[in-house]
Amino acid sequence: MNWLKNIEDLSFRKLMCGSKCPDKLNYDFNKNGELRHIDTNEPFIFNYNNSCDSNHKRYEVLGHLIIQYVYELLEQVCKLKKMYIPKDVIDSEPNSFFFMSENALRNDVTLVVLLQDRGVFRAGQWDQKTIIHEGLQHGTQIPFITTALQYSWEVIVLNPNDNFLDLKTEKDESYCVLKSSYVIPKRYSSSPEEHTTYVWDHFISKNTAGKVAFIAHGYGGLVFINLLMQRTFEVMNMVYAVALVDSNHHTLHQTQGNCQVQEWIQKHCRKWISNNKPLDKVVGHSMKTDCPTVSTGTEKHSLAPSFSLQSIFRYLKNKLKVTTKAHFIRSPIATRSRKVMKKT
């Protein structure tokens, strides 16, 4: 939890004040990364008054501010770069972005790609409600990012839910809420699948060392299998391991009977599912067409990533050793040639 020491200079309260939000949202994250009321030190309360509409707007404001705050943490604490897409973006065109570490595009590094579940949350978050009620340590992807960086691995944080731009918005000054009449899709990011495929084609695939790993949560697992089917040869050659956390993928349906892909999934993927068994205990009997399955140590879907963190990185490290060893064995060994001199 050392990274939490670095959030003191990035006050959530300052961000809140800067957005003209009401005093009813007088909250900040403490040194443990927990959201607490400034005056009472109480956790966030949804039912602030008897107005359902007012409570909902207040919650929307909080969610919007958390998105901006996590973006700041990714840049300031994790030192990630914001990368705008598409690459050929036109002036004033709605565009999306993702985050990556400084050397992520080098072709000789181990690269970890984070792919979140579907929802209102954006890059750097596993689950927004979890951030609000359980804290940054459980709800954000930052513990995964900092762990990968400690291993001297590089990181790409996808932003698969940033798909549309609100048009003809009407701003409510008291709550900072945008009410949209309609939206337009962002080019190459109109869906989680499209966003992920674009980032793969233009960024991730630059890693030719075969040392790319994915960590996918919920719908993110389905998105990864979609990428595997769309870019089968590339993915099978570049991705050495995939951690699927409470994944929504369906191997039989998505692979369409492709035995080669199913065999690859069985060999290179592992699934962690919400279960009351202790962490890493085998759950059920995996089908030959799917991958080995273990428990997360919790029955809560939203807490599954944080509970599985240590287990996931042990898995990735072990798979990397096997991959590196296999690559070394396959590599040709240069030997000196000796010329045999003929006697004359």
Ordered by where they begin, the domains of the chain are 81-330 (3.40.50)
Distance (Å, rounded) from C-alpha 122 to C-alpha 94?
A: 16
64-68, 229-233, 305-309, 338-342: the lowest-pLDDT one = 338-342
Angle between helices 259-268 and 219-230 (to 10 degrees): 130
- Considering the chain, what is the average pLDDT of its residues? 86
Structure-token pair, residue 56: 């909902």
- pLDDT of 101-131, one tens digit each? 999 999 899 999 999 999 999 999 999 999 9
Residue 113 sits at the vertex; the CA angle it makes with 118 and 165, to the nearest 5 degrees, is: 45
Q: Is the pLDDT of residue 169 over 50?
A: no
- pLDDT of 184-243, one tens digit each? 899 999 999 999 999 999 999 998 888 999 999 999 999 999 999 999 999 999 999 999
> Can you list the alpha helix ranges (DSSP code H) found in the chain?
12-18, 52-76, 128-134, 136-139, 142-150, 192-202, 219-230, 232-238, 251-255, 259-268, 304-330
Distance (Å, rounded) from C-alpha 336 to C-alpha 232?
A: 39
| Cα 247 to chain centroid, rounded | 13
Distance (Å, rounded) from C-alpha 235 to C-alpha 178?
A: 39
Grade residue 334 by pLDDT with cuts at 50, 70 and 90.
very low
Q: Which of 88, 34, 27, 95 is nearest to 61 (CA)?
A: 27
Grade residue 59 by pLDDT with cuts at 50, 70 and 90.
confident
As a whole number of angstroms, the longest Cα–Cα distance in the chain is: 108
Q: Is the pLDDT of residue 336 over 50?
A: no
- What letter would DSSP give residue 291? -
Pairwise pLDDT comparison (130 vs 344), residue with the higher score? 130
* pLDDT at position 22: 53
Q: Which residues face 172 on adjacent strands? A: 177
- pLDDT of 254-273, one tens digit each? 988 899 999 999 999 999 99
Query: Model's pTM, two decimal places?
Result: 0.88
User: Measured on CA atoms in the order 134, 138, 139, 142, is the torsion positive or negative?
Assistant: positive
Distance (Å, rounded) from C-alpha 243 to C-alpha 301?
A: 15
Contact between 124 and 73 (Cβ < 8 Å): yes
* pLDDT at position 190: 96
- pLDDT of 304-330, one tens digit each? 999 999 999 999 999 999 877 665 555
Q: Is 245 helix (H, G, I), strand (E, B) or coil?
A: strand
Main-chain dihedrals φ then ψ at residue 35, nearest 5 degrees: -80, 120
Pairwise pLDDT comparison (50 vs 284), residue with the higher score? 284
Q: Is the pLDDT of residue 343 over 50?
A: no
